[in-house]
Structure 1
Amino acid sequence: MTQHAQRCLIVDDSSFDQRMMARAVSKLDRPVDILFAATLDDARQVLALGEIALILLDNTLPDGKGANFALELAEHADWAEIPVIIVSDWPSPFMWQKAKQAGVAHVVNKSEFGADLVARMLPAPAVLQSPPRAGSAARGRCRKKRAPPGRAGPVACHVSGHRHRR
């Protein structure tokens, strides 16, 4: 069995806050690749590469508000299922309302952000296994789940850790 590193995208224009969030992610007991974006445009470019497991999002960015970006993510076919945590210096009631509309997993003050929250929100990692040998009893029958249109590469099925290629 091989556990591949998940990818966490940190969207924040402050290098200090990027490092603070990266330290929390690095405390997890599993491999996580950390990607950074200082603007929403940079975040869109990283997301276009695919396979992001979690987004840590500041609300105040040079090119827009994180809460508005969360609404954009919720409407995007490939990005809507990615858990988002808004990590903000000053969470406002208006930001909370937009976050709720977008299905944001959590809104948290930067001073309260920690590895425990990331651990709860980061989906279980995919574990690649060799397929069962002929004649051996598999735990479940594989029902291949299709990747979204235009998306190539491995897709998950309901059998834990079992992967397919299109």
Structure 2
Amino acid sequence: MSTILLVEDEELNRTLVKAVLSRSADPVVRDATVVDAISLAAARTRIAADHIDLILLDMNLPDGNGLTLARELSESDAPKPTVVAVTASVLPQDRAAALEAGCDDFLDKPYAAADLIATIARHLNP
């Protein structure tokens, strides 16, 4: 079973993502354990404590930009989970900055539930 870390400071967004994933037709997505963090500091604690397979990483967090965490993970010698940047900043330079920072994929907010599931499934299904 996979573990997804949802790094999102908005409670409503966390609730919606968890609801969408729990109803997915894809068993890998539906059965994944979803843990969350509301800040970069909380995300770092989760990553240190748990095996994380995929991170849904909001860019605008109370204690900084999510790309900081993506860079830290890319520069670390530890195995890196898949990182999907999730942001309302959808300009081409934002996408390029996310990929340059080490994100593996990019999901524009607002997104359709099917796009969220497809993005996660693409990275978690072998």
Give the TM-score normalised by structure 1: 0.65
The 1-side partners of 2:35 and 2:123 are apart by: 17
Does the Cα contact within 8 Å between 1:24 and 1:118 map onto a contact in 2? no
Quickly say closer, same or farther: Cα 1:46–1:82, change in 2 above 3 A.
Answer: same
Equivalent residues in 2 for 1:1-166 (5 A)? 5-26=1-22, 27=24, 28-30=26-28, 31-79=31-79, 81-112=80-111, 113-124=115-126
Taking only aligned residues, the RMSD between alpha carbons, in angstroms, comes to: 1.7
Structure with more helix by fraction: 2
In the alignment, is the contact (CA less than 8 A) between 1:22 and 1:34 conserved in 2? yes
Select the structure of larger CA radius of gyration.
1
Q: Tell me if structure 2 keeps the 8 A contact 1:91–1:107.
A: no
Moved over 4 A (4+): none
d(CA) in 2 for partners of 1:38, 1:49: 16
Report Cα offsets for 1:68-117 as digits up to 9, x if no partner.
221111112225x3111111122344432321213312111122242111
Q: CA deviation at 1:21?
A: 2.0
AA aligned opposite 1:19: T
Matched residues, number: 119
CA distance in structure 2 between the aligned counterparts of 1:9 and 1:123, rounded to whole angstroms: 17
Q: Which runs of 5+ in 2 are unaligned?
A: none
Query: Quick one: which amino acid aligns to residue 115 of structure 1?
Result: I
Q: 2:77 is paired with a residue of what secondary structure?
A: coil
Query: How far apart, in 2, do the equivalents of 1:70 and 1:53 lie?
Result: 14
Output the amino acid matched with 2:43.
A
Percent identity at matched positions? 29
Q: 1:35 to 1:7 in 2, by over 3 A?
A: same
